[in-house]
Structure 1
Amino acid sequence: MTTLRRLRLLLAAGAMALTAMGTASAQTRTAPPAVMESFNVGERAYVRSLAVDQGRNSLWVGTSVGVLEVDLKGNVPRNTFTREHGLANEYVFAIGVAPDSKVWFGTNAGGASTYDKAGAWKVYFPMHGLADYWVYAFAFDRKGGAWIGTWDGANYVDPQTGAFTTYRNELINIWVYGIDIDAQGRVWFGTEGGVTMHDGQSWTSWTHKDGLGAENAGNLPRSANTGLGTRSRHDLALEAAGQETYNPNYVFSVKVDNTGRGVWFGTWGGGVSLYDGKSWTSFSTADGLAGNVVYAIAQDKDGGLWFGTNHGVSHWDGKRFVNYGKADGLLNDNVYAIALTPDGSAWFGVQGGVSHLLHRKQ
């Protein structure tokens, strides 16, 4: 394979370099031919969130030291934003592109920010109605209303009035990491203590006792990070000590299946679970999943699912898993975020940068 082009971007407030390094798997695969290229954002920086903005034809990259906007036409940087530009905090955990073209950024201990198409920034703190300074998820309903997941419940922002409504007691746990909305308008929340669904009137919750998360086949120690613990523990280095743990009620990611199969939930140690409205089906490493900690889920236009795990990324076509790891060009095996672009390629956020998989069908 020829070496891919090199790209360097210096971030204004950290001299953070985005470098493209050409790599490709030398392994024989049954997957379609693919090339992986990686873009560095700094060895100690995390990429925790990615979002495709079709209106701007760009990819938003949320890192622990700021936000990048990448022009998808040539995969070249368009903008760089830090606190100096209007971002609430440089550590960006969530990005959501709203129907009105505003881009929402959820930060670690800094509240939320919006960036509109005119280039104006607005910051939201608890004093404005935001449930908490730690913001981890966004979803938008058909009316343009925003659902926001925080470490102290969930907000709904009315699209007409801009008023914030906060929900805490309705949720099975107030630490909300993932939100998605299905075709019926039901809102699904992934929390540190299980799953909650709101149908517009009532609230229903599920835990491992109901079928969420695979069984602990490896007899791993249960995670000590349950309930309301210290906020400082969430530094993303969840497996830094080398000891994997198990907590199937801890839900990192939520994705409504666009083929009608149900709703997917990525757990801590329990793999990924699918709820079809009646029963639960879970997939773990025993079934071919790359890792049992599932940070991110995305679905492609063909209905295939992508899972970002603690041991690489998996693609599931409904029958089998194909996995990609460091040997295939990933900068790091902990994959925290996934974005799928209209050209059919996939972007993965990891510690150190972003890896781009060019998927080519035979």
Structure 2
Amino acid sequence: MTLHLPNAQRTFGVISLALSCLTSAAFAQTPAPDYKILETFNVGDPVYVRALTMEPKTNTAWVGTSAGVHEIDLTSRKPRNTFTRSDGLANEYVFAVGIDSQGYKWFGTNAGGVSRYKDGNWKTYFPMHGLADYWIYSFANDKEGNLWIGTWAGVNHFNVKTGKFKTYVKELVNEWVYGLDVDAKGRTWFATEGGVSMFDGKTWKSWTHKDGLGAPNADQLPASSNTGLGTRSRHDLSTMERGDATYNPNYSFAMHIAPDGDAWVGTWGGGVARFNGTTWRNYNTKDGLVGNIVYSIARDDKGAFWFGTDKGVSRFDGKTWRSFTTQDGLLDSHVYTLTAAPNGDIWVGTRRGVAIIGKK
């Protein structure tokens, strides 16, 4: 079923390794269910779905798009609210949605800083307030309830009690940060344009393609020049040049830490990389992944992983792969964000709209 929401609602669109044994605790031991695309929400060609965050406590899906933020009731699938600049957002192009330990919703924007919202009240932070940059791409909560913020000029650590920002730039392997996650030991992991960094609270470590991050360039794709790597040059997020695919395995879009502690990283052209703390194992289209550019990662209630790529979505349960493309009902091939709903459904954000994948 395809649902078309009225224009008056301002358009509902969703936007964010070493081989361990495949029977690791990261994967469920029960048989995998069969899945299908249950619903789609068409938001129109100009709108990009960039971020999605579930808030089970309020039965809400927070949806960030290139046209604003939507608060969606998970039961009715209808918008409760739609927020744009006129409502308090600093910029309508939202790349990331985070929820901190105090219940504040954080909306990271494209060149507009970050806007914080709770109970009808708004506050926007810019670099003049301590924010590292105007371009915000990810959020993650630490074990103390504070907030990490990934930007195009390093990362911020925000103390929710004091309201103070701390910025890290030179400590990272690269200052352009896209993905964030915190593991059970309290270590924070960063996916950047130049590789992966990890901070344990005292020391920093980093890894690049030379260390094993990203699969080899088996298709001999050209290296991409569309990057700010090593510069302060602003650039778009296209992975194509003159209509052709490109390769940059250090460029990491997504970070997800599994319950067993393994780090899963989505790369540009190198597929998905899995790191167990010692060695890397990479998965690409030769293994069953639908596309080698991996924008997003989620984990379902069976313990399987979902990867949003440039060619669709793939599910991996540790043994078998299952993929979904536009032929299965996705509204677009580029899957920028994935998240698991409380009921086990997987929400998929693309250009043109949202698909919900669930059990048959």
Normalised to the residue count of structure 2, the TM-score between the two structures is 0.91
Letter in 2 for 1:253: A
Equivalent residues in 2 for 1:180-259, closer than 5 Å: 180-226=181-227, 227-228=229-230, 232-234=234-236, 236-239=237-240, 241-258=242-259
1:300 aligns with: 300
1:54 aligns with: 56
- Distance in structure 2 (CA, Å) of the matches to 1:331 and 1:7: 13
1:91 aligns with: 93
Of the three residues 96, 110, 113, the one matched with 1:111 is 113
- Residue 352 of structure 1 deviates from its aligned partner by 0.9
- Distance in structure 2 (CA, Å) of the matches to 1:220 and 1:277: 29
Contact 1:254–1:297 (Cα < 8 Å) also in 2? yes
- Distance in structure 2 (CA, Å) of the matches to 1:229 and 1:349: 30
Q: Which secondary structure does the structure 2 equivalent of 1:84 belong to?
A: helix
Q: Which secondary structure does the structure 2 equivalent of 1:287 belong to?
A: coil
Letter in 2 for 1:274: R
- Distance in structure 1 (CA, Å) of the matches to 2:88 and 2:55: 19
Q: In the alignment, does 2:283 pair up with 1:286? A: no
- Residue 61 of structure 1 deviates from its aligned partner by 1.1
Ranges in structure 2 where 5+ consecutive residues have no aligned partner = 14-31
Equivalent residues in 2 for 1:21-170, closer than 5 Å: 32-116=34-118, 118-170=119-171
Letter in 1 for 2:3: R
**Per-residue CA distance 1:230-266 (angstroms, 9 max, x = gap):** 75531x44337431111110000000012x0501000
Q: Which secondary structure does the structure 1 equivalent of 2:277 belong to?
A: coil
Q: Which secondary structure does the structure 2 equivalent of 1:274 belong to?
A: strand
Higher RCO, Cα 8 Å, sep 6+: 2
Contact 1:36–1:330 (Cα < 8 Å) also in 2? no
- Distance in structure 1 (CA, Å) of the matches to 2:89 and 2:8: 14
Contact 1:17–1:42 (Cα < 8 Å) also in 2? no
- Residue 119 of structure 1 deviates from its aligned partner by 1.9
173-182 or 49-58, larger mean C-alpha shift:
49-58
Letter in 1 for 2:350: V
Q: Which secondary structure does the structure 1 equivalent of 2:58 belong to?
A: coil
Q: In the alignment, does 2:340 pair up with 1:357? A: no
- Distance in structure 2 (CA, Å) of the matches to 1:250 and 1:33: 31
**Per-residue CA distance 1:106-133 (angstroms, 9 max, x = gap):** 00000001111x2211100001100000
Change in Cα spacing, 1:218 to 1:129, as seen in structure 2 (3 Å) is same
Change in Cα spacing, 1:137 to 1:67, as seen in structure 2 (3 Å) is same
Q: In the alignment, does 2:322 pair up with 1:325? A: no
Change in Cα spacing, 1:131 to 1:331, as seen in structure 2 (3 Å) is same
Letter in 1 for 2:89: L
**Per-residue CA distance 1:173-228 (angstroms, 9 max, x = gap):** 00000110000000000100011000000000000000100011111111113414
2:277 aligns with: 277
Change in Cα spacing, 1:228 to 1:82, as seen in structure 2 (3 Å) is farther
Q: How many pairs does the alignment contain?
A: 342
Residue identity over aligned pairs, in percent, reads 50
**Per-residue CA distance 1:336-358 (angstroms, 9 max, x = gap):** 00111011111111001111112
1:22 aligns with: none
Ranges in structure 1 where 5+ consecutive residues have no aligned partner = 19-29
Normalised to the residue count of structure 1, the TM-score between the two structures is 0.90
> How much is the aligned-residue C-alpha RMSD, in angstroms?
1.8
- Distance in structure 2 (CA, Å) of the matches to 1:278 and 1:200: 20
1:348 aligns with: 348
- Distance in structure 2 (CA, Å) of the matches to 1:265 and 1:5: 32
- Distance in structure 2 (CA, Å) of the matches to 1:84 and 1:334: 30
Contact 1:31–1:322 (Cα < 8 Å) also in 2? no
